[in-house]
Chain A
């Protein structure tokens, strides 16, 4: 596809580069330049890696309005779509899932996999999540110290849960975690992303074949039996959807667990509120606040305008790319008073950490239950949990699609 910029080169000089760096020593706060734009130019044009100048949206009300507007498309095949990088472009062009489709195609495919994420079905999994979390904590307590919490706890929790839900053998987790990491790493080459994507789809395709022959009670068996066999989708489409479901929950929840732990250790008063409560409502509120405060999907939701959209005195033209920065929107003082303060007692439910509009995260009910179980269990069972390295030695995922820490050495 030709790389089209809708502005002249001289105008580029006025457009700040995106993404922007975080301030040194403020690992939980969005880049300061994002918040400056939110105050001074909430609908701004920025320059991205390929030289194009999409819009950058930083205010909460604009973000909700635009993500709820069907004139903005998530379809990456539309000209002007602002890809994250060359690897993202390569990956998106071979990946056909509802994530990058518009309605009605999006709705048709998404509805095929919504059942397990209905609230009562997710609540029925809570006990199973608790058993997984307790088992991993038992192993931590029996194992050596210090330990990397990312590898020994934060990653296995969502991995074990989604494997159980989908019916994927957890024994293969090294394989799919390694490939998922290639897809979300900003430094991956297009070839690496395509190879990782294909390896995962091939793996799921084989697994769906097994499920067709010997169905179980899991989601992949349902897809294989009720959707593929009925001709509603091809096995390849089901495999791509399986990859999406398998990988989406991994990096996100794992990073929320690890980064949330870092944030709470740096705010001992807030940690104490979580550790010392038995009230599920207090825990649920804390989860929402941590989702808001950390907003780990920090690469912007990406869209392209299908028609001219007038918003707050600006006109986003058809064909313009739009990047919506949720990490800035979730720090908008018009909606969240004193937004840079982590306050687990505030009502943060209206945050956009899961996005907004029809593409809002499908797995959010499951993510909530996982985080509620983890946050209400980990710190109360290991009451003296602390970092095993100096804070400034932590390596943050500035280059990732999802924000977090690469390793989290802890002891107790």
Chain B
């Protein structure tokens, strides 16, 4: 699974960082940054949660 983020959509809610802090980070203005776009399988649940919690639908999971 690959993770994509759309920074222009991000509203800096920080939900993704709280759900999966080893996959998502924020820049100085709180905008989402990815630490890895291919998280391990053991991180899938948290990444799915991050995508579900994102209020701006800025996170997308792509199956490969």
Please state if B11 and A117 are interface contacts (CB–CB under 8 Å). Answer: no
Q: Scan B5-20; emit 1 where CB is below 8 A from any A CB, else 0.
A: 0001101111001110
The verdict on A114 contacting B31 (CB below 8 Å), with A119-B26, A349-B49, A365-B14 known, is yes
Q: How far is the CB of B31 from chain A (nearest CB, A)?
A: 7
Q: Chain B nearest CB: distance from A354 CB in Å?
A: 8
Partner of B29, one of A114, A349, A355: A114
Picked from B18, B26, B55, the residue with its CB within 8 Å of the CB of A358 is B55
Number of interface residues of A (CB under 8 A): 25
Q: A111-B29, A118-B28, A119-B17 are in contact. Are A357 and B12 (CB under 8 A)?
A: no
Bound form: Cα–Cα A67–B31 in Å: 20
Instruction: Across the interface, name the chain B residue whose C-beta is closest to A360.
Output: B55
Could you say which residues of chain B place their CB within 8 Å of the CB of A120?
26
Q: Which A residues are CB-close (under 8 A) to B56?
A: 68, 357-358, 360
Please tell me if B57 contacts chain A, counting CB pairs below 8 Å. Answer: yes
Residue in chain A with minimal CB distance to B14: A119
Q: How far is the CB of A339 from chain B (nearest CB, A)?
A: 18
Residue B61 at the chain A interface, CB threshold 8 Å: no
Tell me, yes or no, whether B52 is within 8 Å of chain A by CB. Answer: yes
Q: Decide if B34 is an interface residue (CB 8 Å cutoff).
A: no
Among residues 26 to 44 in chain B, which have CB atoms less than 8 Å away from a CB atom of chain A?
A: 26-31
Q: Does B53 lie within 8 Å of A362, measured CB to CB?
A: no
- Complex Cα–Cα for A44 and B52 (A): 26
Task: Contact check, A357 vs B14: say whether CB atoms are below 8 A apart.
Answer: no
The one of A111, A118, A349 in contact with B14, judged by C-beta atoms closer than 8 angstroms, is A118
User: Which of B13, B29, B49 has most chain A Cβ within 10 Å?
Assistant: B13
Q: Contact at B55–A114, with CB atoms within 8 Å?
A: no
Contact A118 B57 (CB under 8 A): no
B52 to chain A, nearest CB (A): 6
Q: Is A170 an interface residue, CB under 8 A from the partner?
A: no
Which chain B residues border A107 with CB–CB below 8 Å? 8, 11
In the complex with contacts A107-B11, A110-B11, A360-B13, A117-B53 CB distance below 8 A: no
Taking a contact as CB atoms under 8 Å apart, the answer to whether B29 and A118 are in contact is: yes
Encode A105-137 as 1/0 by CB contact (under 8 A) with B.
Answer: 001001100110111111000000000000000
- Cβ B55 vs Cβ A362 within 8 A: no
With the chains together, A151 CA to B49 CA distance in Å? 38
**Contact between chains at B12 and A111 (CB < 8 Å):** yes
Given A111-B29, A350-B52, A117 contacting B12 (CB threshold 8 A): yes
- The interface of chain A, by Cβ under 8 A from chain B, is 67-68, 107, 110-111, 114-115, 117-122, 349-350, 354-360, 362, 364-365
**Given A67-B55, A110-B11: 16 more A-B contacts, CB < 8 Å:** A68-B55, A68-B57, A110-B12, A114-B12, A117-B14, A118-B27, A118-B28, A119-B14, A122-B14, A349-B53, A354-B13, A355-B55, A356-B55, A358-B11, A358-B55, A364-B14
* For the complex of A and B, 3 pairs with smallest distance between CB atoms: A118-B30, A360-B55, A114-B12
